[in-house]
Structure 1
Amino acid sequence: MSKQCNKCDHLYDQGLEQCPECGHSGCIVVDSHAKVDSVEVEAEHAREGETREMSREKGASAQNVYGWNWTAFLVPVPWCLGHRLWWQAAIIPAAVLSFVLASCSGYSASTILKLEFVVSLFHIPVGLSLLFEAIGGSSLILYNNGFTIHRTILGDMLVLSWLIWGVVLGIMGNHFAWQRHCFKSVSHLRSDQDAWKVCGFVLVLLGFLLRMNAVVGLGRLFYR
C-alpha cells in the first residue's frame, strides 16, 4: 500500500506524513500494484489501437498500389532484379532459350546471335519480338555455309509464355514491389515507378535498335 497526494497526485511511501514533492499533508491510501496494473492495461489498449490503425492504413495503401506497370511489362528482368524480386526474375533462362530457339539468325556464334542474347535479357517480352518473328515466317529455314536454323514450335511457345509472364508482371508488378516493404508510402512507390518508367523506355528503344541491327544484318547474310 502507498499514499497518493491530493494536490500533485504523487505516490509516496505510506510511512511518510507529507508528500516529498510538494509538502502537502493531505493524501489518500491506494493500492500501488493495482495502479501499476491499470496503467499497463491502458498502455496495452493504446498499442492495440495503434496496431489496428496501422493495419487499416496498410490495407488501404495495398489497395491503392494496383495499376498497370509498363516497366515491369517492357523490361521485366532489370525491373525484377532492381526490386529484389528473385523468383519473378528466375525465368531468365527460359527467356534466353526462347530467343535462341526462335532466332532468325544464321550463325550459331555470330554477332547477330550475340545481339539476340543481349536483347533477350533487356528487351522482353515486348510484342515487338513477336512482330519480328512473324515477319520471318513460322516455317522459315535459313541456310548459311551449310548450317541450318529451324524456327521450332518450342521456340514460339517459349516466346509466347514469356509474353504472358510479362503481362502478369504488368498487372501485378506494383503489388509485388509493395510487398517487398521498400517504400514508405504509396506516393514513394509511385515516384519510384515513374523513374523506372523513363529507364524502361530507354532500354526498350535500345533493344529496338539492336533488334533492327540484327534484322538488317540477317538480310545482308541471306541475300548476299
Structure 2
Amino acid sequence: MTTIASKLQSVYAQIGDACQKCGRQPTEVALLAVSKTFPAEAVREAALAGQWAFGENYIQEAVDKIAAVRAMADVPALQWHCIGPIQSNKTRLVAEHFDWAHTVDRDKIAQRLNDQRPDGLAPLQVCIQVNVDGGATKSGVAPEDALALARTVLALPRLQLRGVMSIPDPQPTEAAMLAVHQRVAAVFDYIRASGLAGLEQFDTLSLGMTADLEAAVAAGSTLVRVGSGIFGARSYGAS
C-alpha cells in the first residue's frame, strides 16, 4: 500500500470517529483531497486508492494539473473543485476546467462564471463562501448577505447552487471552534429553509480541514477538505 493510500485510510477513520462522537453516519461526510502544490502523480496515487474528488487553490496550477491527470490512461474521471479565491481575470479558467467552485462571494463572479461556462459542460456546481469572522481581509460574503447572493446564483442557468463554504479562523478551544462552525451551519440552514426555487440540490456544507475536522463534523459539515493529512507537508517555494 502506498503512503498516500494509507493516509487516506487514516483520514476516513478520523471522519468515522468524528461522526460516531456526534451520532452521524460516516456516509454523511465526503472527503475532498486538497492537492494544491502537489504534482499530478500524487493525484494519480490518491485516485488509484479510490479518492475521486480533489480541491485546488491555485487556478493556473490546477488547470495544468487537471490536463496532466486526464492524460493518464489508468486514472478514472475525477471531480475537480476550485477552493481558492476567484478573481475576475480567472473566472474563465474556473468555468472551463472545474466541476465545482466553492468560493463564490459576489454577484460579479457568479455572473462571469455563468457567462463563461461552455455550452457542452454540465452546470458549474457552486458553493457560496461565507465570512463568519467578519475580517476585512478575508474572502466571503457576510452572513446577512448570503441569501441575496443565493438568489443571484439560482437565477443563472449555467450554475447550480449546492451549498455554503467557509474557512473560519482557528479558535483557542474545541468549543469555540464548534460555535463558529455552527454559525456557518446556521447560514446554510437559513438558505435551505428560505423556500427559494431551485434549492433541490442544496445539500453541501463545505466546512472543516485537518485541524478542525471534528468540530466541523459535529456542526453538520457534509464535505471536509484535507490536504497535508493525505499528501504530506507542503513546500510553497515554487508557488
What TM-score results when the alignment is normalised by the length of structure 1?
Answer: 0.24
Between structures 1 and 2, the one with greater helix share: 1
Higher relative contact order (CA 8 A, sep 6+): 1
Between structures 1 and 2, the one with greater strand share: 2
